[in-house]
């Protein structure tokens, strides 16, 4: 074999070895870069007409990895905070009549100053279909009844007792606060109008008489005032884009059995969220 042919073979062999070494180095470098990859996950807070939703980690999966099942599971269940807020008027009624009998004049109220406020701060949503949504929540329900007459509801009585006062009250409110656990079923139409029906069990946290007069200033007395410890309401609402009008009706007397007159409660107004 001539020296010329030997040199050619040597150069070809050297070139092949260098090329293989270069490919190996590139592969190792690629693997090294993969080891240095940093994955950042975030916590997202979304505010919408349905409330505030917390999402931990990435909400949108990589398109190559996300499956239809994962998307479906994410859409079916939702957990949120501050899931709803209601503001409305609060009224006494007897057997469906807002006009009370003369013997119940102590319960006469200033309807415009009698309010119902409900705040739902934890809620779980379940969507078995696009047009159906079920909602479970935890909240507080505040009730104010502004009394028309200068009377005081007495604490620690076996039966509901009012006393007439010789002074005039510029503010005379009977108040009650409840822990509420609403359950609602919502139907969504093609144009996003919603129809909701619900059931709300409520547990008494506190009763209060809050009064203000020129003679005595501001006074407040906390007691259960013979209120029913557990009550429930039927709720209906019609909404659009997160806002709604609602009506909340309590079929049982607000007072415990045998401790007060048969007088029910109804509230109605506007709401945000579920």
- CATH number assigned to the domain comprising residue 141: 2.40.160
The answer to the question of residue 64 being in a domain is no
The region, left, alpha or beta by phi > 0 then psi within -120 to 50, assigned to residue 179 is beta
Residues 21 and 111 reside in one and the same domain = no
Residue 207 CA to residue 183 CA, distance in Å, equals 24
Residues 10 and 136 reside in one and the same domain = no
Q: Which of 127, 236, 240, 132 is nearest to 187 (CA)?
A: 132
Residues 139 and 248 reside in one and the same domain = yes
**CA-atom Rg of the chain in angstroms:** 34
Residue 46 CA to residue 224 CA, distance in Å, equals 39
Tally of domains within the chain: 2
Residues 27 and 135 reside in one and the same domain = no
The answer to the question of residue 133 being in a domain is yes
Question: For the whole model, what pTM was predicted?
Answer: 0.73
> Would you say 109 and 92 are in contact if contact means Cβ atoms under 8 Å apart?
yes
pLDDT computed for residue 69 by the predictor: 53
Residues 21 and 90 reside in one and the same domain = no
The answer to the question of residue 41 being in a domain is no
Residues 93 and 221 reside in one and the same domain = yes
pLDDT computed for residue 82 by the predictor: 81
Residues 1 and 119 reside in one and the same domain = no
> Would you say 137 and 126 are in contact if contact means Cβ atoms under 8 Å apart?
no
Dmax over CA atoms of the chain, in Å, equals 133
- With a CB cutoff of 8 Å and minimum separation 6, the contacts of 137 are 83, 84, 120, 122, 123, 124, 180, 181, 182, 183, 184, 274
Residue 178 CA to residue 245 CA, distance in Å, equals 21
Q: Which of 271, 66, 75 is nearest to 182 (CA)?
A: 271
Residue 224 CA to residue 211 CA, distance in Å, equals 17
Residues 29 and 91 reside in one and the same domain = no
Residue entry with tokens 């505010």: 47
**Class of residue 273 by CB neighbours under 10 A (exposed 0-12, middle 13-18, buried 19+):** buried
Instruction: Tally the residues of the chain.
Output: 274
The answer to the question of residue 261 being in a domain is yes
> Would you say 209 and 224 are in contact if contact means Cβ atoms under 8 Å apart?
no
The answer to the question of residue 190 being in a domain is yes
DSSP H stretches of helix in 160-260 = none
> Would you say 274 and 137 are in contact if contact means Cβ atoms under 8 Å apart?
yes
The pair of structure tokens assigned to 129 is 């279909």
Residue 133 CA to residue 61 CA, distance in Å, equals 24
Domain encompassing residue 26: 1-35
> Alpha-carbon dihedral of residues 16, 20, 26, 28, nearest 10 degrees?
-160
> Would you say 268 and 89 are in contact if contact means Cβ atoms under 8 Å apart?
yes
The answer to the question of residue 214 being in a domain is yes
pLDDT computed for residue 40 by the predictor: 45
pLDDT in tens, the chain (274 residues): 544 454 455 445 445 444 444 444 444 444 344 444 444 444 555 555 555 555 544 444 444 455 555 555 556 878 878 879 999 999 999 998 999 999 999 999 999 999 999 999 998 989 888 889 999 999 999 999 999 999 999 999 999 999 999 999 999 999 999 999 999 999 999 888 999 999 999 999 999 999 999 999 999 999 999 999 999 999 999 999 889 999 999 999 999 999 999 999 999 999 998 6
Residue 8's SS3 state is helix
Residues 31 and 89 reside in one and the same domain = no
The answer to the question of residue 57 being in a domain is no
The answer to the question of residue 44 being in a domain is no
The pair of structure tokens assigned to 66 is 């996300």
């Amino acid at each position: 074999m001539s020296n010329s042919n030997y040199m050619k073979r040597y150069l070809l062999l050297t070139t092949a070895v260098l090329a293989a070494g270069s490919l190996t180095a590139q592969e190792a470098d690629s693997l090294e870069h993969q080891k240095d990859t940093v994955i950042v996950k975030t916590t997202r807070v979304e505010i919408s007409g349905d409330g505030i939703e917390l999402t931990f980690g990435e909400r949108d999966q990589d398109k190559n990895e996300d499956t239809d099942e994962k998307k479906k599971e994410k859409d079916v269940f939702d957990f949120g905070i501050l899931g709803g807020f209601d503001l409305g008027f609060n009224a006494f009624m007897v057997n469906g009549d807002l006009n009370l009998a003369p013997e119940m004049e102590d319960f006469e109220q200033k309807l415009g100053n009698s309010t119902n406020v409900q705040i739902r701060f934890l809620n779980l949503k379940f969507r078995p279909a696009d047009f159906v949504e079920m909602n479970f929540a935890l909240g507080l329900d505040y009730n104010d009844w502004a009394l028309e007459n200068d009377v005081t509801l007495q604490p620690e009585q076996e039966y509901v007792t009012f006393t007439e006062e010789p002074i005039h009250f510029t503010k005379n409110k009977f108040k009650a606060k409840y822990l509420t656990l609403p359950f609602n079923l919502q139907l969504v139409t093609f144009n996003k109008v919603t129809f909701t029906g619900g059931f709300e069990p409520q547990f008494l946290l506190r009763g209060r008489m809050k009064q203000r007069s020129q003679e005595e200033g501001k006074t407040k007395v906390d007691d259960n005032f013979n209120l029913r410890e557990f009550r429930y309401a039927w709720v209906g609402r019609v909404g659009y884009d997160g806002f709604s009008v609602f009506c909340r009706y309590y079929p049982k007397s607000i007072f415990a059995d045998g401790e007060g007159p048969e007088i029910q409660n109804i509230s109605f107004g506007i709401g945000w969220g579920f």
